[in-house]
Amino acid sequence: MNQQRIFLDFLLKEWLFFASAAGIILTSVYLNQLPSFSRDDIQIIFILTVLFITVKGLERSGLMIHLSQSLEKGTRLPLKLICAAFFLSMFITNDAALIVIVPLTLALTTDRKDILVILEALAANAGSALTPFGNPQNLFIYWFYNIRPETFILSIAPFSITFLTLFILASLFIKTANNRKTNHSNSPIKYRAFIYGVLLLTVILTILRVLPVQAGIIVIIYVILFDRGSLNIDYILLLTLICFFGISENMKSIFAANLENAGHIFIFSALASQVVSNVPATLLFAKFTTQWKALLWGANVGGFGSLVGSLANLIAYRLYTSHKDTHNPAAFTTKFIIIGYIAFFIGIGLYFGMEKIL
């Protein structure tokens, strides 16, 4: 009975993987052929893998949690937590930023944790949108369309800066309790933090095409020899992405059409993200269009809204609802969805207001 329950919990937790696996099987059967993976597809999967490993190494080194704990000191706690989620996500991805910031928030004795966690999740989505390596969909768009770094950043900067401003203003209205003592002491930083900092820089230079893709092998060699625990990354997420690479190739063969209206690409990708998450939506629509700016905006705006709009939303949601000191998950879910969709519709309005400029 327990095994059945464990299996059912696994199915519910990893429903997106099973849905993507079913999708690749069904589309392959329909076409009577297996999907083909391009050289670019394989390179993106490899870069994502070494990026996940490097971020895991940084987590295990104690550096990120040490930096996060320093945010507790002084005043303006909501502002510092939200800005930390925003800026951390630019460099270590939105998922990893929330894995660091949300547990720290839940360990505090302050109140209003539900609102803080929701705004942290949204801020991480907005911050990660600004860099080519901030989230998986950005990395894919950047690599797939061969975009210059400065062009990429300037194209999405209005989105990130606008929402950073809104979240800063929102944080100023959040009143929290004065007692901010935590139940933990400062975590020591291991010597590996410096090594993983260098490895992260190597991966970033690889993404920016300063170094060849093969440079990422350094990360794998290091962790195999000295820190195998950092190989414990989210392989289900990687498999899900691989499945959606295959589905997008199959869908391209089935429809064999281009969508070239930027407004359509933006709204379709944003809406599709509400159902299947923004990473799969990006992989799907990229095969149909050359309108990368619209897709970039659509995928990142689509990260707001529903809980499945972004995997980062689900991470924040799971961390909050599974914590021993939190309660009333229904109220938290309602607040998350309401605030998320407010941001979603602001993002839509922002895009169409700036469409001619973009």
Q: In a 3-state reduction of DSSP, which class is residue 1?
A: coil
% of the chain beyond a pLDDT of 70: 85
pLDDT tens-place string over residues 138-150: 988 998 899 999 9
> Minimal CA–CA distance to 190: which of 104, 76, 288, 64?
64
Residue type, 129: A
What's the angle, vertex CA 49, arms to CA 45 and CA 50, rounded to 5?
A: 125
Note the pTM of the prediction, 2 decimals: 0.78
176 has a pLDDT exceeding 80:
no
Cα–Cα dist 197/179, whole Å: 34
Cα–Cα dist 129/131, whole Å: 6
Q: What is the pLDDT of residue 256?
A: 55
For residues 53-71, average pLDDT = 75
pLDDT tens-place string over residues 264-316: 889 889 998 887 788 888 888 887 788 999 999 999 999 999 888 887 888 88
Q: What is the pLDDT of residue 180?
A: 46
Q: Which of 137-141, 179-183, 237-241 has the highest mean pLDDT?
A: 137-141
- Scan for tokens 């407004």, then name that residue: 263
pLDDT tens-place string over residues 93-134: 888 788 778 877 877 766 778 899 999 999 999 999 999 989
For residues 64-76, average pLDDT = 67
